[in-house]
Structure formats: C-alpha cells, structure tokens
Amino acid sequence: MKAPIPRMAAEGPKPEMSAPIPGQMSTEQMRKVMSMTYKYRGVNFQPMLVPVENLKAMETFQVRDDDIFVLTYPKCGTHWTMEIVYLILADGYPEKINRSEKMSFGALEMSMPTMPVPAYKMAEDLPSPRVFPTHLPENILPPQIFQNKGKVVFVTRNPKDCVTSLHRFLTGSNPNAKDNWSEVFDQFLTDEMMNGSWFNFNLSYWKHRHDSNFLVLKYEDMKRDTKSVVIAIADHIGRVLSDEAIDRVVENCSMSAMKKSYKKADEEKVMLFQPGQKENLVKFLRKGTVGDWKNALTVAQNERMDEVYFQKMAGSGLTFEYE
C-alpha cells in the first residue's frame, strides 16, 4: 500500500488576462507571468492556462484502462514522446495521425482561449486509446492512475538542459528578453517555479519507477538509443509492431521529420494558443541535444545546480548524463 498523498486546500484566482504567447514574451511580460501564479496543493500554476477548476476536476477524472499519459516536467521531451506514442498507434505513418483530434487541446490540465471547453472535458468524448500529455505533479494527477489504471510514460531530463530549454522557450527569438536568464535560473532551483519544482516533481515520480503501469525514461537515453525506447514504449502500451514499423517510428520521430509534420500541423492550425496565432507546434522543437546547458549556465550557476541537486536528490538513485 502506498502512503496517502498529502492534500492541501484548493485556492486560486480567476483568469484575468489572455494567455501570453510563449516564445514572444518580453522581459516585462515574463516577469508578470512568473509572478501571476496561484498555488494549488503547494504548486504554482498560471491561472490563464490552468484554472483551479481544472485541477479540482482531476480528483474525479475517470481514467480508462487503455489511456496513455505522457507525463513530464515541462521541456523534458513531452512532444517527442507524444510523437513516438502517436506513431506507434499509427504503425509508424505520420500521415495516419489524426492531429486535430489528438493535439488540439494541449495538456490534460489546460484551458486555452481557443478551446470551447477545458481539455479534461474534451477528453470525455475522445475515442480510445486516448493519449494525454500532462505536467501535473504527483499530488494532483488523477488518483486512479495510482490504482494501476491507464499507462504512464514518464520522461525526465537533466535539469541543466531542462532549465536552458525552458528559458529559450519562454523568451524565444525575442531579443529584448535575454536578460532574464538569471531570474529563471534562480527560480528553477526553488519550489516557486511554475508547475512546481523540477526536483520535487522528478523525485516523486522516480519513486513510481517500479509501478507496473509506469514506464520511466530519460531524455538522454532516448537520444542515445531511440530504437530501444520505441520498443519499450510499444511494449508498455501493449502494441506489437513489425520490425519495419519500429524503424518507421524511429525515422519519423527524428527532429527533422517532426519539423515537417509539425509545420504541416501548424499550417492546418491544429493547435492554437491564441485566436489567429500563426504557428506554435514547431516552437516545441529547438535544438534537441544533450549538453546545450553549456551555452547558458555560468561556472557559478553550474556549481550551484550541482549543489542543489546533491541536497535534494542524493540517495535517490536518479542520475543523468550531461553531455
């Protein structure tokens, strides 16, 4: 029996402004977004994208046995893993993926200005097998998952590349936003980060690595040996693929293949954050490498990250490759 997960009182403001567009935020917008969070069960969320009602609804969310949850801390490989799962379900053919059905709603916990209802409500009408990306921490994830319902593919990534990717994603090509790197880095080391602390998130799920409905993967392993990861995911979600189909999945989940698929999806406006926004899926594909943190962290920041990692994660058995 697992120890019960502590619950805290629900609270949260109503959304007041439209959701900011990641990748185009100025330093000022970014500060505003980082400060405009509310806490639910000890974790910070953005009210525009994740209203408190959605989080409360997770308590009673009905999980189907064949649901697949791609569970990640943001920027740890969510879209890559989603694409692998979609491709496995489509026998390796990207053109067979029904993206407007599968990708229109973002993450399970989200509401977007362009969506008529929150994602979790849209989910009720989706055909099985449903595939949900989610960044929900352990104490908010639908409890039925911990009763062995549904399949979880959990992906983690080294925190140095994660924070680098996160900062680049939020500020993107906005030339006025480069000076907030140290703010993002400092906040990343605390519990005040949006979506909660990378450390708490990954530590709590790492403890589930032996649960039968959990498959725990590392981004760095996915990079080193994509084929083995594809086989492991297919096996975990109960799909038998031919050798040719496995090779197709590997080929079509590469950065270059995904850029083509996402470009097409963006042209078809499969997922929109804001009404009229031109593209957004390709934004989730940047460098796709291990070790880009070396272009972002100073020597002092690198040492601090190692210290904090040691303080919070020592003894957990969770270790990473950094290059």
Q: Which residues bind ligand A3P (CB under 6 A)?
A: 72, 74-80, 161, 165, 168, 253-255, 258, 284-288, 292
User: CA angle, corner 170, sides to 165 and 174, nearest 5?
Assistant: 110
Q: Between 14 and 294, name the residue whose CB sits nearer to ligand A3P.
A: 294
Amino acid at 286: R
Q: Between 165 and 200, name the residue whose CB sits nearer to ligand A3P.
A: 165
- Separation between Cα atoms, residue 24 and residue 140, nearest integer Å: 29
CB of 317 to ligand A3P, least distance (A): 23
CB of 161 to ligand A3P, least distance (A): 6
Question: What is the SS3 assignment for 155?
Answer: strand
Q: Between 130 and 168, name the residue whose CB sits nearer to ligand A3P.
A: 168
Residue found by looking up tokens 């949006």 in the block: 194
| Contacts of residue 294, Cβ cutoff 8 Å, sequence gap at least 6 | 323
User: CA angle, corner 257, sides to 251 and 263, nearest 5?
Assistant: 160
CB of 96 to ligand A3P, least distance (A): 18
- Separation between Cα atoms, residue 129 and residue 117, nearest integer Å: 20
Are 248 and 260 spatial neighbours (Cβ–Cβ below 8 Å)?
no
Q: How many other C-beta atoms lie within 10 A of the C-beta of residue 153? A: 24
Active site residues: 135
CB of 107 to ligand A3P, least distance (A): 10
Are 133 and 73 spatial neighbours (Cβ–Cβ below 8 Å)?
no
Q: Between 63 and 155, name the residue whose CB sits nearer to ligand A3P.
A: 155
Are 129 and 46 spatial neighbours (Cβ–Cβ below 8 Å)?
no
Q: Edge to edge, what strands does the sheet with 131-134 contain?
A: 131-134, 68-72, 151-156, 214-218
CB of 60 to ligand A3P, least distance (A): 27
- Separation between Cα atoms, residue 263 and residue 236, nearest integer Å: 29
Q: How many other C-beta atoms lie within 10 A of the C-beta of residue 206? A: 16
Q: Between 33 and 52, name the residue whose CB sits nearer to ligand A3P.
A: 33
Q: Between 51 and 133, name the residue whose CB sits nearer to ligand A3P.
A: 133
CB of 266 to ligand A3P, least distance (A): 14
